[in-house]
Structure 1
Amino acid sequence: MANAASGMAVHDECKLKFMDLKAKRTHRFIIYKIEEKQKQVMVEKVGEPAQTYDEFAACLPDNECRYAVFDYDFLTPEGVQKSRIFFIAWSPDTARVRNKMIYASSKDRFKRELDGIQVELQATDASEMGLDVIKSRAN
């Protein structure tokens, strides 16, 4: 079903990969791209469970928007292993205005398709989604 605001549909693979990440932990991250010609959100890249946050961040393009989901593992101050699923709306300042508008207008509808997101981040440059920011938002 296409999003009324932007006309973007969500490819089934987007939800299936997210369910794998959430339930089976078979992925560390998923990067989603809007394919304008097909008018839908697609899976662009999937990260292996052993990949790091830095490897994930390096996959985001400098001049284009993306949606991303990252499964962040951490220890609480009490030493308990936990994880948080982050939804990151990557919208770099250097992206074209049209690109930013399409991603902004589709974000809420797309995010609703991914049931289980715990933390949302909006980032326009790498410093807004650095590992320090992830750590502070995880608790």
Structure 2
Amino acid sequence: MSNSASGMAVCDECKLKFLELKAKRSFRFIVFKINEKVQQVVVDRLGEPGESYEDFTACLPADECRYAVFDFDFVTDENCQKSKIFFISWAPDTSRVRSKMLYASSKDRFKRELDGIQVELQATDPSEMSMDIIKSRAL
């Protein structure tokens, strides 16, 4: 079922993989992309549980937009082990204007399909999603 505003459907695999990340912690992160030919959001890459935040940021293309979810583990000041699921909207300045508009107009609907996101972040370059920013947003 696509949204009339953006015309973008969400592939069932996106929702299934997100549920696996959330419930079973099968993945550290998931990168999603819009397949313009079929007007659908699809899974681009799955990050293994042992992969790091650096592995995640390295797989985001420098000149193309993406959506991503990252399961961030951290320890609170009270020494409690916690985790938060980040939704990251990646739209580098060097990506095509049409692509940025498409991702921006589809983002809210896509995000609603992924129940359980705790923190949202928008980034146009790697400095806007540095580990320091992730840590500060998680606490």
Unaligned runs of 5+ in 1: none
Q: Which residue of 2 aligns with 1:33?
A: 33
Q: Distance in 2 between matches of 1:43 and 1:18?
A: 10
Q: Distance in 2 between matches of 1:131 and 1:53?
A: 8
Give CA deviations for 1:40-70 in whole Å, capped at 9, x if unaligned.
0000000000000000000000000000000
Q: Which residue of 1 aligns with 2:107?
A: 107
Q: Distance in 1 between matches of 2:3 and 2:111?
A: 12
Q: Distance in 1 between matches of 2:24 and 2:62?
A: 30
Q: Distance in 2 between matches of 1:7 and 1:72?
A: 31
SS of equivalent residue, structure 2 residue 93: coil
Opposite residue 39 of structure 2, the aligned amino acid is K
* Residue correspondence of structure 1 range 12-27 to structure 2 within 5 A: 12-27=12-27
Paired-residue identity, %: 71
Q: Which residue of 2 aligns with 1:129?
A: 129
What displacement does 1:108 show?
0.1
Q: Which residue of 1 aligns with 2:120?
A: 120
What displacement does 1:14 show?
0.2
Q: Distance in 1 between matches of 2:70 and 2:37?
A: 26
Q: Distance in 2 between matches of 1:128 and 1:40?
A: 27
What displacement does 1:7 show?
0.4
Q: Which residue of 1 aligns with 2:60?
A: 60
Q: Distance in 2 between matches of 1:107 and 1:57?
A: 19
TM-score of the aligned structures, taking structure 2 as reference length: 0.99
Unaligned runs of 5+ in 2: none
What displacement does 1:81 show?
0.2
What displacement does 1:118 show?
0.0
* Superposition misfits of 4+ residues, deviation over 2 angstroms: none
Q: Which residue of 1 aligns with 2:96?
A: 96
SS of equivalent residue, structure 2 residue 88: strand
What displacement does 1:6 show?
1.2
What displacement does 1:94 show?
0.4
TM-score of the aligned structures, taking structure 1 as reference length: 0.99
Q: Distance in 2 between matches of 1:5 and 1:69?
A: 23
Q: CA RMSD in A?
A: 0.4
Residue-pair matches, total: 139
